[in-house]
Amino acid sequence: MPHVAGLVRAAIPPMHPGGRPIVAGVALTAAVLHALTGRGAVAGALATAATAAFFREPRRVPPPRAGVVLAAADGTVAVVSEGPPPPELGLPPDPVPRVSVFLSVLDVHVQRIPVDGRVLAVEYRPGTFLSADLDKASEDNERNALLLETAGGDRVAVVQIAGLLARRIVCDVHPGNEVAAGETYGLIRFGSRVDTYLPPGSRVTVSVGQRTIGGETVLAELPGNG
């Protein structure tokens, strides 16, 4: 039995704590409807399972490479360009390399730290809820910006951006925290986008349309590490 239980745990990813209240609410609603009508048991069970799957937090293994920036999210690369980082982080306004990853409702929605280092700043900004696949979403939508600094002094910014359906951004780290590449730090509920701003001189290693795996896919090589 312990072996079987271990296989089940390995096959079914754990759930991010931020999703537990939502899953509990769906399960309670389904139970109440079934108690009142005597129907909908199967539909309720499926809805609860689908909601739990949305908040899954699968185990990831970062590649053993130094001097690289990992994808902060599962999804599809929507934009590879240059742009000024969010002004609330206090970085110079000069354009820097930027990679935007779009998350559909079927993707894993936890976010992961892209580099080993220290959290310098966490800044939340309210905004609109445009479709996350629009480039304007980076500027106008609700967002939470995270600034990291590596041991070598490189600064990387990661921005969680709410999408058309998203109404809640969760961030579990704070300024001063020491963090490791690949570890989970947050969650965006439902369709969304994650932008990564790289130091000048970084070499982007992904292309538009490419699928990324959070905590495993290499987005870029930091300056001096190409």
What is the C-alpha separation between 207 and 5, in angstroms, rounded?
40
Q: What's the confidence (pLDDT) of residue 54? A: 59
Query: What's the CA gap between 180 and 160, in Å, rounded?
Result: 18
Which residue segments constitute the domains of the chain, with CATH numbers given? 2-54 (no CATH), 68-221 (2.70.70.10)
Check whether 195 has a pLDDT greater than 70: yes
What per-residue string of b and e applies to 163-180 under the rule 16 or more CB within 10 Å gives b?
A: bbebeebbbbbeeeeebe
How far is Cα 140 from Cα 109, in angstroms, rounded to an integer? Answer: 21
Each residue of 100-115: pLDDT tens digit? 999 887 888 789 999 9
Q: What's the pLDDT score for residue 135? A: 59
Q: Catalytic residue positions? A: 192
Identify the bridge partners of residue 194 per DSSP, sorted by sequence position.
101, 160
The answer to whether 83 touches 50, Cβ cutoff 8 Å, is no
Residue count (the chain): 226
DSSP 8-state assignment for residue 142 = -
Q: Is the pLDDT of residue 13 over 80?
A: no
Q: Is the pLDDT of residue 7 over 70?
A: no
Per-residue tokens: 177: 């925290």
Confidence check: pLDDT of 95 > 50: yes
Residues 42, 110, 4: CA angle, nearest 5 degrees: 55
Confidence category of residue 168, pLDDT binned at 50, 70, 90: confident
pLDDT band at 165 (very low <50, low <70, confident <90, very high): low
Check residue 89 and report its DSSP letter.
G
State in Å, rounded, how far the first CA of the chain is from the last one: 49
Tell the residue number behind the tokens 């704070």, with chain if given. 174
Q: How confident is the model at residue 60 (pLDDT cuts 50, 70, 90)?
A: confident
C-alpha distances in Å from residue 52, one per residue of 47, 100, 107, 110, 148: 9, 26, 13, 13, 30
**Averaged pLDDT score across all residues of the chain:** 81
